[in-house]
Amino acid sequence: MKDQKKELAAAIAGALENFEEDKVAQLIETPPDSAMGDYAFPCFKLAAVYHKAPQKIAEELAEKLRGNGAFADVKNVNAYVNFFMNRADVGGSVIGDVIAEGDDYGKSDVGGGRPVIVEFSSPNIAKPFHIGHIRSTVIGASLAKIYKALGYDVIRINHLGDYGTQFGKMIVAYRKWGNEEDVKREPIKTLLGYYVKFHEEAENDPSLDDEARATFTKLENGEKEEVEIWQWFREESLKEFSRVYDMLGIEFDSYAGESFYSDKMPRVEKMLEDKGLLQESEGAQIVDLSDYDMPPALIKKKDGSTLYITRDITAAIYRKETYDFYRNIYVVASQQNLHFKQLFKIIELMGYDWANQCIHVPFGMVSLEDGTMSTRKGKVVFLIDVLNKSVEKTREIIAEKNVPEELLDKTAHDVGIGAVIFQELSNNRIKDYTFSWDKVLNFDGETGPYVQYTHARCSSVLRKAGREADELLAGNITPDMSKLTGDVVYELIKAIGRFPDVVLEAGEKYEPSIITRHITDIAELFNKFYHDEHILVEDRDERLAKLAVTAATKQTIKNGLALLGIVAPDRM
């Protein structure tokens, strides 16, 4: 399909004088509806070159190209030349590609093995992994898969928030009001409780804040008792996070979080100083960014404790030295836009030309139907509860459908988890959105269950076809696509054919929702086709062509879902 556009550009450029193929390619459009042609070439921009009315140019160009055997038809409409491809040829080529490439359909090698870091999830220790964190987790996991499919060498990093003054607060609260059994039984909920209580108490007793600061300094200085408690909080929290990652099927290559950089910061402070970037301000060390219309970055507090951004500068340099990344991608909420602008600017000011290889991929907020969430007030929804509830609700829904008893648990899991992931990846990531159960689990809307169900429907058709379908998939039979050139099926075939470009675009824009939307379109087109036509018809050629389209639809949906981190069930 990709080459098709290139061939078209060459043909048009060949019929024109003084207009290069590249420029032609940029002008070629894809009409929204195949009834207007597969491609359209607008001639407005040519008017200045040829000193002629664009309509006239289009008319002459259409005349010249009409005889070209590559097109089924060439039409001139106003200033446009519309090209109609031979539908059977397009069908044969798309279906052939999908069947030959199978699970690899959509993959490419543009990355050439270059290293790309995708940092995502990065929750804070001893704080809940709440529904707000799911966005980073799910978007990042998908981007990692997309970059891998594009041939990059992907390194997935979880930059755990396992360091900082809040641990002073947590330790103080634990000592004053906590006990070991509670923490062991339900680590994060308990630790969160301490944190909330600390803030309540500190409102009336400001000395608590001083105590927390002193405790954190002890931790930074490596005092045994503080380090032990902190390590224990970290372990218990990680155990709980792992449960979520297991449920989502997500893995990381590195858990180097903030604490990992604690012994690497002095070197970086020295580098900042040597480059003349550090300034003293009220006893603290800062980097002045006023020339760039940004507030100063606080590198070190008066009491000597380091900050979030200090650890991030150190982490970026460490990553460059360790992985020699081609891209260093941070999937972090848009609330931190300023932080990343400051971070990248400081890296640039340090003289690193790789500053522009660091990319912040921001996303909007999730809120619940009854308002937003705040960790401080303890009003949070735990991700693990959301996932469990989704699986449970899905189980109820599918128990009434014809899922065999032994597949019920697995299907409920795959569909329940898939529904939550799909919803997360449905909107442009930058948009704020409200989490709603009705939307997540609607089997008829533009949802995960709907797309998964379409996949299962394709599987069921192929199962019914039996051996014939196996032969098709094995490539032993080449279907004759001239039997199948109707408008709906042709749109479906073209959408399947665009899939590799869609994966590329999703990667370039750091936007998994482009894939989500595309496979939803494919599912909708297939279902239209399925309702309009009987697939297992008497006529063998027609039946084989229809089965081939069904197999290609199933494969493309499966590959698309895989890039989102969602399983494609064969029955549901």
CA nearest neighbour of 375 among 184, 204, 176, 161: 161
Residues 6+ apart with CB under 8 A from 510: 143, 329, 359, 361, 429
Contact positions toward ligand ARG, by CB under 6 A? 119, 122-124, 159, 161, 312, 330, 332
E strands, 322-456, in order: 327-331, 358-361, 366-368, 433-435
Indicate the burial class of 245 (C-beta count within 10 angstroms; 0-12, 13-18, 19 or more). Answer: middle
Is the CB of residue 251 less than 8 Å from the CB of residue 156?
yes
Closer to ligand ARG by Cβ: residue 357 or 394 = 357
Q: Does the annotation mark 130 as catalytic? A: yes
In terms of CB distance, is 123 or 449 closer to ligand ARG?
123
Tokens of 394: 């899905």
For residue 76, give the H/E element and its range: strand 73-77
> With respect to ligand ARG, which residue has the nearer C-beta, 57 or 250?
250
Residue nearest to ligand ARG (CB): 161
Distance CA 120, CA 135 (A): 9
Q: Cβ(165)–Cβ(214) under 8 Å?
A: no
Q: Which of 56, 127, 320, 546 is catalytic?
A: 127
Considering the complex, what minimum distance in angstroms separates the CB of residue 59 from ligand ARG?
Answer: 58
- Cβ–Cβ under 8 Å, residues 284 and 298: yes
How far apart are CB 563 and ligand ARG at their closest, in Å? Answer: 23
CB of 327 to ligand ARG, least distance (A): 14
Residue nearer to ligand ARG on the CB measure, 124 or 447: 124
What string of DSSP letters covers 240-275? HHHHHHHHHT---SB---GGGGGGGHHHHHHHHHHT
- Shortest gap between Cβ of 361 and ligand ARG (angstroms)? 11
Minimum distance, C-beta of residue 433 to ligand ARG, in the bound complex (Å): 19
Integer CA distances (angstroms), 449 to 187, 443, 521, 526, 566, in order: 33, 5, 14, 15, 10
Q: Which of 339, 354, 360 is nearest to 296 (CA)?
A: 339
Decide if 127 is catalytic. Answer: yes
| Residue 330 or 433 with smaller CB distance to ligand ARG | 330
Q: Which of 107, 133, 389, 410 is catalytic?
A: 133
Instruction: Choose between 154 and 403: whose C-beta lies nearer to ligand ARG.
Output: 154
- Shortest distance (Å) from residue 127 CB to ligand ARG: 8
Rounded Cα distance, 293 and 341, in Å: 11
So which residues are the catalytic ones? 127, 130, 133
